[in-house]
Structure 1
Amino acid sequence: MAVEKKLMSKKKPAFPISESLDGYLKRYNRNIKIPIFYDDLLRFQGSITVFDKNDEDTLWVRTYYSEWDRVEIDNSLKKIYTMLHSDGNDEAIPFLNVDSIDYCTFGNSKPFRIKIRNILNDNYTHFYVKKADASRVYGLELEHILSPYSMNFLVYKDTLIEEHIAGIPGDDFINDFLPKCTEAEKAQIAKEFVKFKERCLVRLLGDMRSYNYVITPTHDFDQIIYKIRAIDFDQQSFEGNLKVYNLQFMKENFKMVEMVSKKLQNNSIRQYKLEERSYMAKRMITVPRRTTRLIKCMKKDTISYPENVELLKSHLIQYVGDVKFKDCNNMGEILETILEFVKRNYLDITGK
């Protein structure tokens, strides 16, 4: 824990959605009026602890509401499900059931996890209801723009609705699945970890400890392909210590870091870092207006403390050697400088 205390600063506050960010969300259909708010779900009258298959406390509790509240809440949550996954049409609502409403007692966001089941075929999925936080919204949108993955979420006033990201939690994978992987699979996971680490570092997504990302195995015709995805975007561009954005300094990731050093040579690591930066540059070039508009919102916004901004500037000057960071006044300008650096290098290499 001593290492984490040095890396992480005091508890991060929730930053409100600014007028400019709200306008951005409306432009890209992220801001849609929803029938229920986060605070409405806090009216539960009781709860019980949710245990996993090994009878260990999951830090989630299953909530219970009065009969009157439950009818209204269930109908509203079903409506949100249709808005998140479809066009908001009410035709599917009679075939949906809210199986559970769980509340997380751990972490900053204290989300509600909603389990929705189709009663016709028993297929079910989850989504989350959270307090809207500008940091998390920027993180989700940057993930959508710069990563290989689309993010499905909605924001209305002080409430954020997030689609569930399927996968094996990183800590569970490291403990239970990684030891059973073949040597070839470990090399492939090491490659993905390097690329994921580079993506988080470049776009300033912090605190990627193993329980804040998932690993998704996909069966190809002759092998299993592993991908790594972030699932917590609370620490987007907040911390001043550059190490917080570098996965290798999180003690929960040490086994993955050791595997990378065993399985990959330095030339391969550099190659995979370049591949990831090139991919991000291509994404920025493909959607230039969306990227520019989001960064413009960040530059107007306050999503960190002044001392964090100054510390991160000094760390980046040492790490990258680019004095342009000295002129940055906030986290939005810092991120813009990093992304411009990545895009410029890509264009120089490709001669475009």
Structure 2
Amino acid sequence: MQLESDKPSRKKPFFPINKNLRNYLRQHGREIALPIAYNDLLNISYSIPLKDKQGRDTLWEKASYDMRDWEYLRESLIQVYAILKTEGDYTFTKHLDVARIDYCTFGNSNPFRIRIVNRFNDNYDHYYIKKEDASRVYGLELEHILSPNRITFLTGNDTLIEEHIPGLPGDVFIQQHLELPETNKIRLAKEFVKFNERCFVRLLGDMRSYNFVVNVTPDIEDYQYRIRAIDFDQQSYEGRKNLYFPQFFKENYPLVELALQHLNPESIAQYQAEERTLMAFRVSVERRRLLELLTIMSGDTISTDEKRRQLREQLGQHFDNPQFLRCRTMGEVVKLTLRQCLKPHIARIHKHQGRII
């Protein structure tokens, strides 16, 4: 069972985006002049708790606004959606409307979820508006570069805009789909091992089941699975090493038991090596961008000195590498962890390509 000391911090502070990170975001098309800011949505007249189909509290509330503010909010939110989806081509917005604004009172970021609806066919989509936070931005960028998933987000006006990541919430999947006869438990266990590896190598923490989603894709005679992180608030913030392994959270124990039941140690080691190799390929492709990001991250403050000292000591012991004790920032810890985990795989890739590293 997970110990109290192994739980993530209840409240993580927001870290400002510094000048170097701001320039990086602008250079790579993330930083733009947004038509609305997070603070514009805080003037809620009243809200109603949202329930799921079983009548349970979702921890989201439907927000309502004064009509004097609504027209501005509506137009601005539709414009943001156009920027996310069509790079600001507003010719497609005439048939769009804001169906709902939801506000989450749970967690660190207190996000707004915006539902955009197509009036012609009632199809809807979502995106999220959050308060800007440097550690979350680093997490999103590392996800974009190192994971098998591309991700779209925008910054500006002290505001972070994130696209909706589709999938079944991990906790819902475990409760309602894990034991279905059509679920391929071996393939699901394999994906959990690979997801566990991805999170640790890039130090993304607090991947409890409600912080990731499961994508199920029909394949030849069966299904394939992809687990995707949806919350990047705990990017290299915590000091305890185990908080970067999804396997150690009690909420994920059914998936851990699945892996232990269906996979032997040799298969687990194989899938871990496969995932590190895939990450090494991505590093080779995005080498300059990743090094630029890690250089900025290494000069930034995104955690406390106490947590940094704790993590570097635990990782130094884990890898039997005293170089971790010289890391002065969490960014340097992330950079060294990536080098420690991926360097052998990158070396083999470059050897096969005839390159020298």
Q: Following the alignment from structure 2 to structure 1, what is the Cα–Cα distance between the partners of residues 48 and 4?
A: 31
Tell me the secondary structure at the aligned position of residue 339 of structure 2. Answer: helix
* 2:44 aligned partner: 44
Q: Following the alignment from structure 1 to structure 2, what is the Cα–Cα distance between the partners of residues 279 and 129?
A: 31
Q: Deviations over 1:83-124 (max 9, x none)?
A: 011121221221101000000011100000000011122221
The structure-2 alpha-carbon separation of the partners of 1:181 and 1:314, relative to structure 1 and needing over 3 Å to count, comes to farther
* 1:309 aligned partner: 308
* 1:102 aligned partner: 102
- Letter aligned with residue 190 of structure 1: A
* 1:70 aligned partner: 70
User: How far apart are 1:348 and its partner, in Å?
Assistant: 4.0
* 2:285 aligned partner: 286
* 2:355 aligned partner: none
Q: Following the alignment from structure 1 to structure 2, what is the Cα–Cα distance between the partners of residues 351 and 111?
A: 42
The structure-2 alpha-carbon separation of the partners of 1:112 and 1:9, relative to structure 1 and needing over 3 Å to count, comes to closer
* 1:230 aligned partner: 229
* 2:269 aligned partner: 270
* 1:131 aligned partner: 131
Q: Following the alignment from structure 1 to structure 2, what is the Cα–Cα distance between the partners of residues 226 and 173?
A: 12
Residue 55 of structure 1 pairs with residue 55 of structure 2: yes
The structure-2 alpha-carbon separation of the partners of 1:351 and 1:140, relative to structure 1 and needing over 3 Å to count, comes to closer
User: How far apart are 1:343 and its partner, in Å?
Assistant: 3.1
* 1:112 aligned partner: 112
Q: Deviations over 1:43-70 (max 9, x none)?
A: 1101111110001111111011111211
Tell me the secondary structure at the aligned position of residue 162 of structure 1. Answer: strand
Q: Deviations over 1:225-271 (max 9, x none)?
A: 11100000000000010000011110101111011000000000000
* Counterpart contact for 1:281–1:342, Cα < 8 Å: no
User: How far apart are 1:207 and its partner, in Å?
Assistant: 0.3
The structure-2 alpha-carbon separation of the partners of 1:34 and 1:351, relative to structure 1 and needing over 3 Å to count, comes to closer
Residue correspondences, number? 351
Q: Following the alignment from structure 1 to structure 2, what is the Cα–Cα distance between the partners of residues 172 and 10?
A: 23
User: How far apart are 1:345 and its partner, in Å?
Assistant: 1.0
* 1:208 aligned partner: 207
User: How far apart are 1:182 and its partner, in Å?
Assistant: 4.4
Runs of 5+ consecutive residues of structure 1 not aligned to the other structure? none
- If the length of structure 2 is used for normalisation, what is the TM-score? 0.96
- Letter aligned with residue 84 of structure 1: L
Q: Following the alignment from structure 2 to structure 1, what is the Cα–Cα distance between the partners of residues 214 and 171?
A: 10
Q: Following the alignment from structure 1 to structure 2, what is the Cα–Cα distance between the partners of residues 319 and 342?
A: 12
User: How far apart are 1:351 and its partner, in Å?
Assistant: 6.5
* Counterpart contact for 1:116–1:124, Cα < 8 Å: yes
Counting aligned pairs with the same residue, the percent is 48
User: How far apart are 1:222 and its partner, in Å?
Assistant: 1.7
Q: Following the alignment from structure 1 to structure 2, what is the Cα–Cα distance between the partners of residues 350 and 92?
A: 44
Matches within 5 A, 1:326-345: 326-345=325-344
Q: Following the alignment from structure 2 to structure 1, what is the Cα–Cα distance between the partners of residues 230 and 119?
A: 28
Q: Following the alignment from structure 2 to structure 1, what is the Cα–Cα distance between the partners of residues 119 and 265?
A: 52
The structure-2 alpha-carbon separation of the partners of 1:180 and 1:102, relative to structure 1 and needing over 3 Å to count, comes to same
Q: Following the alignment from structure 1 to structure 2, what is the Cα–Cα distance between the partners of residues 308 and 15?
A: 15
* 2:150 aligned partner: 150
Q: Following the alignment from structure 2 to structure 1, what is the Cα–Cα distance between the partners of residues 194 and 249?
A: 16
* Counterpart contact for 1:170–1:215, Cα < 8 Å: yes
Runs of 5+ consecutive residues of structure 2 not aligned to the other structure? 352-357
Q: Following the alignment from structure 1 to structure 2, what is the Cα–Cα distance between the partners of residues 261 and 227?
A: 19
User: How far apart are 1:350 and its partner, in Å?
Assistant: 4.7
Q: Following the alignment from structure 2 to structure 1, what is the Cα–Cα distance between the partners of residues 214 and 260?
A: 19
User: How far apart are 1:145 and its partner, in Å?
Assistant: 0.1
Tell me the secondary structure at the aligned position of residue 216 of structure 1. Answer: strand
* Counterpart contact for 1:7–1:241, Cα < 8 Å: no
Q: Following the alignment from structure 2 to structure 1, what is the Cα–Cα distance between the partners of residues 136 and 328?
A: 21
Tell me the secondary structure at the aligned position of residue 29 of structure 1. Answer: coil
* Counterpart contact for 1:50–1:58, Cα < 8 Å: yes
Q: Deviations over 1:157-191 (max 9, x none)?
A: 310000000000000100110011447x0000000
